Structure formats: C-alpha cells, structure tokens
C-alpha cells in the first residue's frame, strides 16, 4: 500500500494548531463574493434546477481571463478531475519527472528522481523524458517551486513535435508575472495546459478548472471523456464572481510573495537550506528526517507538508503564512534550529 498522502489535510492532527502551512491555497481568501453569489442564485431557484448552463458560463469567463478562445477550453471540477481524464485518455504515453505533485506521482509512470534540484536539472530531466515519451509535470513545480520560463519550455516542446507535453500550472497565478511562466496561448499544438483559479483565489473547496487544448483532435477526445454537467451551479457562479476580483489577486499574492521571502530568510537563519530563486509563495527544504522536524513544529502549532523519498524528494514544504502570522512561524523554528 502506498504511503503517499495529500497535504493540507489538517484533520489528522489531534492537537490544536495555530498555523496550517501545509496547504498551498491563498490564506487571504476567498474574496468576499458570497453575497453576490447568493443574489445571483435568485434565492435558491437556480439550485433547484440541473446545472445546464454552469460549465458554459464559467468557460466563457475563464477563457476571457486566460485570453484564449472559449472553445479551446475543456471545463471540469478542478485540475484533479482533469488529471484523471489525462490518465484515461493518454496515460500510457506519458512520464512524470520526479519530484512532482502527489496525484501525478500516483497516476503516471515516473522518471528516476532528479539528482540535482535546480532549474537546469529539471529542464534536462524533461528533455530526457521527451526522448522516450510524452511528459506530464507541474510548472511551477509542486513541491520544489522550481519553474522553467515559458520561452525555454517552448524550445523543448517545439523540438519534440511528436510528443505531448501536459503542463499543470496550478501555481502560475501566484507569481508576480504569470505570463513569464505560462504556456497558455503558445503557438504549439502538442501541449495541454491545466489551470484552475481556486488555489490562488483562496477557494480550494470550489471545484472548477480547465484544460487549454489548442489541438482540436485532442480536444475532441477529452470532451468525450468529461462527464455531462461537469460543474455545480454554485461553484461556477462563485468562481466567475471571484475571477472578477483581479485587484484582490494581485495585492494578496504580492503580500504572500513578500511573506515567502521573509520565511526563506527565517528558514535559512534556523539552519535549513530552502530551495531559493523560486517565483512562488512556498519553499521546499530538503531534509533527511522531515517527519521529526514536522512533528516538533506541530507541537509548536505549525503544520507543514512532509515529502518522503517515494515522492522523489525527502523534506518539508512550507507555504508562506499571512504576514501577520510570520512571527508564529519564526518562534516555532527556534525549536527546530539545525
């Protein structure tokens, strides 16, 4: 039986905790769109009906946000559902470079783990896989945060026109310049990009997401595999209203990125060696005995994500806290100084 578990699931900790740094969802969120969602639902009338229009309405607003044609998006209940559809439709053609995100690790054949954890090594690992098969990976990478700029990814994807590249961009909206990293809109036909606004808008429980698939043949294969009425009316409406809060996204992610830089300094002062030069709001700390450190931090009320060798890297992932809670983390780190 596999011991790989999802992060952010704090219910398994019996003691009270103060800071949940195990989930990558924007802690500022969600933006205040509850009232407007309720109004738009016409006091419940819309919820009595089946969600005939839900996916269509979300498809159009997300396409506008991403700057692509609505027909190029396949809509689903989050990237998770899309990962499972990718597995069903293309599973045998893809390999995942490790380390990478839990569901990709669990769902696809894996490369040998990277021997060096830096962007150049990740780039070479992807090229190496492309020599043998298609590639599925997250960029920015969860858990390391390492990110390959889109102009470099374009070079790889163009060099292997007969391979498919599936890129999970769950964290690209947390970066200060998403366009530097995103492949959405690239003039290539052998890519498929997975996106969802939920983590960045602090609404992980809202299940919406999209696959941008520029190739119409591949898109048709995906459309067949998606279930009828893929979104709930409530989720679709809430997400559309949240997408309008672009100013909120920009200001909260800016604060989170600053908090991540301060967290990186605090981790380094505590004797850890976090992976730096990453454009996201989390930091990975390679460590031989991450469980020991995580247990001690949890005694101080701080929960972080532990990764074991089975996932391609051993260590701890810290998500930046709200700036007002940095001091809690800093004092918890005192107790695990290396």
Ligand X SMILES: Cc1ncc(COP(=O)(O)O)c(C=O)c1O
Residues of this chain that bind ligand X (CB under 6 A): 24, 78-80, 101, 138, 142, 168, 170, 196, 198, 204, 209
User: 69, 274 in Cβ contact below 8 A?
Assistant: no
Strands, sheet with 282-286, edge to edge from the N-terminal-most edge strand:
282-286, 315-319, 305-307
- State the minimum distance, in angstroms, from the CB of residue 153 to ligand X: 16
CB of 214 to ligand X, least distance (A): 20
Closest CB to ligand X among residues 20, 266: 20
Q: Please, what is the minimum distance in Å from the beta carbon of residue 143 to ligand X?
A: 8
User: Is the CB of 173 or the CB of 270 nearer to ligand X?
Assistant: 173
Nearest to 141 by CA among 270, 257, 321, 312: 312
Which residue number, 82 or 270, has a Cβ lying nearer to ligand X?
82
Report the Cα 109 to chain-centroid distance in Å. Answer: 20
Return the number of the residue (222 or 336) whose C-beta is nearest ligand X: 222
CB of 1 to ligand X, least distance (A): 22
What is the closest distance, in whole angstroms, from the C-beta atom of residue 77 to ligand X in the complex?
A: 7
Please give the torsion angle defined by the CA atoms of residues 184, 185, 191 and 194, in that order, rounded to the nearest 10 degrees.
30
CB of 73 to ligand X, least distance (A): 14
Q: How far apart are CA 335 and CA 332, in angstroms?
A: 6
Question: 24 vs 236, which CB is nearer to ligand X?
Answer: 24
- Shorter beta-carbon distance to ligand X: residue 197 or 266: 197
> Alpha helix (H) ranges present in the chain?
34-40, 45-48, 54-66, 78-90, 102-107, 119-130, 150-159, 178-181, 216-225, 233-243, 246-269, 290-299, 326-334
Q: How far is the CB of 127 from ligand X (least distance, A)?
A: 21
* Residue number closest to ligand X, CB atom: 78
Q: Cα 276 to the chain's mean position, in Å?
A: 18
- What spatial distance separates the first Cα and last Cα of the chain, rounded to whole Å? 33
Q: Which is closer to ligand X, CB of 138 or CB of 182? A: 138
What count of residues does the chain have? Answer: 338
One-letter-per-residue 3-state SS of 83-111:
HHHHHHHHHHHEEECCCCCHHHHHHCCEC
Handedness of CA 33, 38, 42, 44 (dihedral sign): positive
């Amino acid at each position: 039986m596999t011991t790989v578990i999802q992060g952010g699931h704090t219910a398994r900790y019996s003691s009270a905790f103060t800071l949940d740094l195990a989930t990558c969802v924007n802690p500022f969120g969600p933006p205040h769109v509850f009232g407007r969602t309720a109004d738009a639902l016409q006091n419940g009338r819309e919820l009595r009906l089946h969600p005939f229009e839900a996916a269509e309405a979300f498809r159009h607003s997300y396409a506008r946000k991403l700057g692509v044609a609505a027909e190029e998006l396949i809509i689903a209940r989050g990237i998770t559902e899309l990962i499972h559809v990718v597995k069903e439709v293309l599973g045998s053609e893809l390999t995942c470079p490790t380390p990478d995100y839990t569901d990709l690790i669990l769902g696809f054949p894996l490369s040998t783990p990277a021997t060096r954890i830096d962007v150049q090594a990740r780039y070479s690992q992807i090229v190496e896989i492309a020599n043998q098969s298609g590639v599925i990976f997250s960029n920015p990478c969860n858990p390391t945060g390492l990110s390959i700029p889109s102009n470099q990814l374009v070079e790889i994807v163009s060099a292997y026109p007969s391979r498919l590249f599936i890129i999970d961009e769950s964290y690209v909206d947390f970066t200060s310049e998403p366009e530097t990293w995103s492949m959405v809109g690239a003039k290539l036909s052998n890519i498929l990009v997975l996106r969802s606004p939920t983590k960045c808008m602090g609404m992980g429980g809202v299940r919406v997401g999209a696959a941008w698939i520029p190739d119409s043949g591949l898109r048709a294969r995906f459309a067949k595999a998606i279930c009828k009425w893929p979104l709930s009316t409530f989720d679709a409406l809430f997400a559309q209203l949240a997408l309008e809060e672009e100013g909120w996204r920009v200001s909260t992610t800016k604060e989170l990125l600053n908090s991540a830089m301060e967290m990186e300094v605090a981790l380094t002062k505590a004797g850890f060696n976090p992976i730096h030069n990453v454009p996201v709001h989390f930091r990975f700390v390679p460590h031989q005995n991450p469980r020991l450190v995580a247990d001690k931090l949890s005694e101080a009320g701080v929960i972080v994500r532990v990764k074991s060798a089975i996932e391609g890297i051993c260590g701890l992932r810290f998500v930046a806290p709200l700036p007002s809670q940095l001091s809690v983390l800093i004092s918890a780190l005192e107790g695990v100084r290396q």
